[in-house]
Structure 1
């Protein structure tokens, strides 16, 4: 027992020597979309187009159409973000985009970023959108190397590590994404689902998608993570 206790202390001290976790803050206040802005191409062309991002009964809701993104006003680096979401009516598509920068960089719709997929049965996949990331077993999880790419019809999807991690439709899912340096780690319902390294971006906005399906969010919480140098005390 003493050995296990000593080992636990050693592991904790090692983690704290590498990172320092600050106090969490909610990015959604349950009342309005303060701190966010919508980028919806259809709204540029049609003044009567609806904003697909609303607050309803204390939930942040992506109505799914017209397609677009809800983007944080602030830029973030070295953090952990937790979203709790559900497809209320039927399973569909959505995503959390990290390290987002240039708007409408792909297909005049998607901002330059790394998408962490939320699509039902694929939650935790990476999609490369004008940014790239590396995982283990790349050819198994991404396909033939000669077809890899970050735009157009290239192989941009990198499959997750674990299967069958989503809850049934109507139940709440939890996704945690940790971005520290050039690494991105993902957990879905407390199951480790992906780990990317050598990411070509290390900071940016965070975005939620409207991509065809209605999705409800009850929690969007960010925790800053401060990287410490070896000499830090």
Structure 2
């Protein structure tokens, strides 16, 4: 039994390393001028672009919003600079649909920063990203990288690996979304958004 477990672990590790070794080419997914390449919500007042920066800002009714890529992805890596500007920032990166995301900012349920952790409906935060408090730069630009291979997710924050998790109920293909959480007053910014196919 132990031999089988070791062999299985080796195969999975080797497969993962093989995929990562491909080092996908990241292409710009945000032109810094407008929302071309993204699907803005109807009557958009939440997402604006100025001087190369994409800003998400809560409206007076605090409805929240999701900005989706106009392309769909299967296995991918997304990297972006981000900054928490004002209020109680609760945002994140949706992975192929609205059900699973990598949290960025303050969790509404836990009332603390869960940047880099996966949120899975029905499971909450099954794992928590490591050492985020030490790595995250408050009120400054940070960089997050998310890799999604089927249901396997990995996250890097400012170049440091902080989380890995395997979801058993992932969606195979879909767009990537940026979230402006409802029922909060917040402003967050993004720039240098890049996406690559694995």
Bin for the TM-score computed over the shorter chain: 0.7 to 0.9
State how far apart, in whole Å, the 1-side matches of 2:79 and 2:86 are. 22
State how far apart, in whole Å, the 2-side matches of 1:215 and 1:88 are. 5
Determine helix, strand or coil for the equivalent of 2:86. Answer: coil
Unaligned stretches of 5+ residues in structure 1: 1-11, 44-49, 101-110, 130-148, 150-154, 226-233
Is the counterpart of residue 35 in structure 1 residue 37 in structure 2?
Answer: yes
State how far apart, in whole Å, the 2-side matches of 1:159 and 1:198 are. 11
Is the counterpart of residue 192 in structure 1 residue 161 in structure 2?
Answer: yes
The size of the alignment, in residue pairs, is 169
2:48 to 51, 54, 62: 54
State how far apart, in whole Å, the 2-side matches of 1:168 and 1:192 are. 19
1:84 to 52, 62, 81: 81
The RMSD of aligned alpha carbons is 2.4
Is the counterpart of residue 202 in structure 1 residue 175 in structure 2?
Answer: no
Is 1:166–1:188's contact at 8 Å kept on the other side of the alignment?
A: yes
Determine helix, strand or coil for the equivalent of 2:116. Answer: coil
Cα gap change, 1:166 to 1:16, in 2 (>3 Å): same
Q: CA deviation at 1:99?
A: 1.6
Determine helix, strand or coil for the equivalent of 1:81. Answer: strand
Q: CA deviation at 1:203?
A: 2.3
Unaligned stretches of 5+ residues in structure 2: 1-13, 107-112
2:189 to 201, 216, 223: 216
Q: CA deviation at 1:181?
A: 2.4
Q: CA deviation at 1:91?
A: 5.0
Is 1:33–1:55's contact at 8 Å kept on the other side of the alignment?
A: yes
State how far apart, in whole Å, the 2-side matches of 1:198 and 1:17 are. 18
Is the counterpart of residue 94 in structure 1 residue 91 in structure 2?
Answer: yes
Cα gap change, 1:33 to 1:199, in 2 (>3 Å): farther
State how far apart, in whole Å, the 1-side matches of 2:129 and 2:189 are. 25
Cα gap change, 1:90 to 1:37, in 2 (>3 Å): same
Q: Which runs of 4+ in 1 moved over 3 A?
A: 14-19
State how far apart, in whole Å, the 2-side matches of 1:79 and 1:17 are. 11
Is 2:49–2:55's contact at 8 Å kept on the other side of the alignment?
A: yes
State how far apart, in whole Å, the 1-side matches of 2:47 and 2:149 are. 28
Cα gap change, 1:168 to 1:78, in 2 (>3 Å): same
State how far apart, in whole Å, the 1-side matches of 2:168 and 2:136 are. 26
Determine helix, strand or coil for the equivalent of 1:54. Answer: strand
Q: CA deviation at 1:188?
A: 1.5
Determine helix, strand or coil for the equivalent of 2:105. Answer: coil
| Higher Rg | 1
Which residue is equivalent to 2:118? 126
Q: CA deviation at 1:38?
A: 2.4
